[in-house]
Each structure stands twice: as C-alpha cells, then as structure tokens.
Amino acid sequence: MRPTDVAISNYRSIRRLSIPIHPLSVFVGENGVGKSNLYKSLSLLRDAATGRITRTIAEEGGLNSVCWSGLRKRGEDGRLRLSAKFDHLRYSIELGFPGPLEAAFSGEPMIKAETIEATRGKRTVQMMERKNSLVSVRSESGAWNSHKDAVLPSETALAGFSDGKECPEIDLVRNAMLGWRFYHDFRTDPASPIRKPCLAITTPSLSADGTDLAAALATLYTIRGDTADLQHAIEDAFPGAELRAWEANGLCDFDLQLTDMPRPFRAHELSDGTLKYICLLAVFMGYRLPPFIALNEPETSLHPSLLAPLARLIVKASGRADIWIVTHSEQLMAALRSESSVPLRRVIKSKGATTIEGLTLGGEYRDEESDEDDS
C-alpha cells in the first residue's frame, strides 16, 4: 500500500498540517522555516512501525524537545499526533508525558493512543484501538477483543501486537510503513563504508546510510544484467564516463572511468560530490524501489552542473515510487520545474508555525481545488 496523505500535529515548528502525498512532492524553503521537520516527522512516523518511536524521541532530547515549540491555548494537552492514510486504512498515534500513576520513568515519552480505521463505502470503522497498555481489535464478526497489558507504554501496538489473524489491518499498515525509506545524507569521509567493497548480497534498494552501495550497483549489473538506463544516467551527469560494478570473492565493488583520466577511479578515490551522486543514482535506479522515498536536501555537496541530471532522475523515478523531496535549492527547484509539471510547494512560517503555501486545513492545495472546479 502506498500512502495518500499524512497528518502532523504538535511536532517542533509544525502546529497542525494535513498533507496529500503525490507521486512526486517537492517542498522548497529558506533556512529556519522548518522544512526539515516535514521530513523528520515522517521518519518518526515510520519509527512507529519499527517500534523505535519513543526511543527516537528520547534520543532527540525527549518530548520537550520535539513537541510544538510555540504558544498553546489554555487547556490544550500538547500531545504529539501523527497519522498516515493508505488507500482505505488510516493509522494514528498520540504521544505524551506519563501521568502521576503510570509506571514510567519521569519525562519518558509514552504512547497514549493508537488507532487503525478502515473506510468502507461511506462508513469509517475502527479496527484497532490502543489506550495506554490496553489493545482492542475488531474481529471478523464485528465484536471487540481486548488485550490488557498487551504492550508497554514505550511500545507501539503497530510493532508489538502482531496477531495478524485477529487483526490483519495491523500487519498491512506495519508492512506498508516498513517499506518507507529515508535518505538524509551519505558519509563520504575517507573512513566511510561507502568507499569500501561490501558483502555480495543481492540488494534491491539502497540502505538508508548507503553502506551497501557497491552491492546495489552490482545487483543491477550482475542480477538484472541490463545497465543501459544506468549508463545513460551516468553519461547525463558525467559525459563520456562509464560506471562498472562487479562481484569477486564474496565482495562487491565498483569504479568510474572518466573521459579525461587514464584509468578508472575506485570508490575511495572519488570526490565527495561524485560519490554522493552515485549514491543518489542507486537510490532512484535500484532494482526495486521502495514504495515511498523521502530525501532531505539531496543537493548538498553536489556541483550545480549535477542538479539538472538529478532532477531528471527524480522525475523518472516518481513513476516507480512516491517521492518526497525537501530542499532549499532554488536551482534544483527550477530544474525540477523544467522536467515536470508537478507543482513545487513553498514552505514558509506563519505566526511562528511551519506551513505550506496554498495548503488548506482540510489537506488540499488550492490550485488542485481550482483544477477540480474547472473540470
């Protein structure tokens, strides 16, 4: 299942946003407007599927650090709320501080509620409800089955309650979210694993940290055996260049032959920008793309001449996966605009809160509403 929209409330500079997800979503904004929080909130939502969401919040400084940073109205609870919709299913989660009688460490982020709702025609039916440690699921007959102390306050029902026969919707949502992939940056320092051979394991899509880059490339060369599109993309970025990848003695490796060099360069010899571009090449041209890919400022450390080829990679890959790009590069935005008719969304701050120009409270863009009216 591919996501159709996400909703975010009380996360850092985001007061409340409901955002539709299209095959290609591009958000551009200046530094300090909170555009990276769009990326981070989706990554946090995926952590609900892995069961790491409370640990991630603790690692980022706790709820006080990740919750809405602005003023609150009197009586507001300030809970962090995240949700995602997949076709006919919507998953929601709420996190807050422990109550005075709850067994938890002081200040520990706690999961207060989770729900999975199914849309059936014009009706919305709740299939799973979690309140604190009580998990209730709806059986095929429509009756509720409750499980007391099924999960700890730090555990998500989405990850910890895995009785697929009793509530297959949990498995459907969890598996859909586990397929999401987030790319923030790739280490390119001399000690980076990206610069070294890696184990020869068939790799359909690049890992989040890129450490299996050589295997992802070698999978295209050795397993697929058709690299025409890959070579075309390499020449688009580096005219006349040739990329090669192979497996030998249980390890995968690759090199790049540039037209003005007498010999090919191995990964440990490539410049940071060239190596990062090859990582992005693997992201968008993998053997099998994840259903949802999010990238935060992919243009970082790239030469301006690489932004147009990158835009072409992104637009082509959006036919195989839903892609979410957060950038502050006006040049990348212009390149994407020239390659695609998809609207580029500008992230701004309004009254201290991160928002998106043209986005309504109901989660629709005004230009899309106008298109529907015209039709």
Same domain assignment for residues 112 and 219: no
CA 329 – CA 303 distance, rounded (Å): 12
**Residue owning tokens 């946003």:** 17
The torsion angles phi and psi of 142, rounded to 5 degrees, stand at: 100, -5
Same domain assignment for residues 21 and 47: yes
Q: What is the pLDDT of residues 331-366, one digit of tens each?
A: 999 999 999 988 889 999 998 899 999 999 889 998
pLDDT attached to residue 370: 57
Same domain assignment for residues 207 and 294: yes
Q: Which residues pair with 344 in a beta bridge?
A: 26
Same domain assignment for residues 145 and 207: no
Q: Which domain holds residue 225?
A: 182-342
Same domain assignment for residues 145 and 34: yes
Same domain assignment for residues 128 and 273: no
Q: What whole-number percentage of the chain has pLDDT above 70?
A: 95
Among 52, 17, 21, 53, CA closest to 37: 17
pLDDT attached to residue 164: 60
Average pLDDT over residues 210-223: 95
- Residues sharing a CB contact under 8 Å with residue 45, sequence separation 6 or more, in sequence order: 6, 53, 82, 83, 84, 93, 177
Does the pLDDT of residue 308 top 90, yes or no? yes
Six-digit token string for 188: 């390119």
Looking up residue 205, the CATH number of its domain turns out to be: 3.40.50
Does the pLDDT of residue 42 top 60, yes or no? yes
pLDDT attached to residue 103: 66
Does the pLDDT of residue 374 top 70, yes or no? no
> What are the start-end ranges of the H helices in the chain?
35-50, 53-59, 63-66, 157-160, 168-178, 213-218, 228-237, 272-284, 307-317, 330-339, 366-374
pLDDT attached to residue 163: 61
Average pLDDT over residues 183-193: 94
Contact 36, 8 (CB under 8 A): no
**Residue owning tokens 């390659």:** 339
Does the pLDDT of residue 372 top 60, yes or no? no
Does the pLDDT of residue 101 top 70, yes or no? no
Same domain assignment for residues 294 and 203: yes
Average pLDDT over residues 17-40: 94
How high is the mean pLDDT of the chain? 91
Same domain assignment for residues 82 and 116: yes
- Lowest mean per-residue pLDDT among 143-157, 160-174, 202-216: 160-174
What is the value of pTM for the model shown? 0.90
What is the total count of domains within the chain? 2
Is residue 101 packed enough to be buried (19+ CB in 10 Å), middle (13-18) or exposed (0-12)? exposed
Same domain assignment for residues 351 and 334: no
Among 209, 215, 214, CA closest to 189: 209
pLDDT attached to residue 371: 55
Same domain assignment for residues 77 and 195: no
The torsion angles phi and psi of 187, rounded to 5 degrees, stand at: -65, 130
Same domain assignment for residues 169 and 187: no
Same domain assignment for residues 88 and 223: no
Average pLDDT over residues 24-33: 93
Q: Sign of the CA dihedral 312, 318, 321, 327?
A: positive
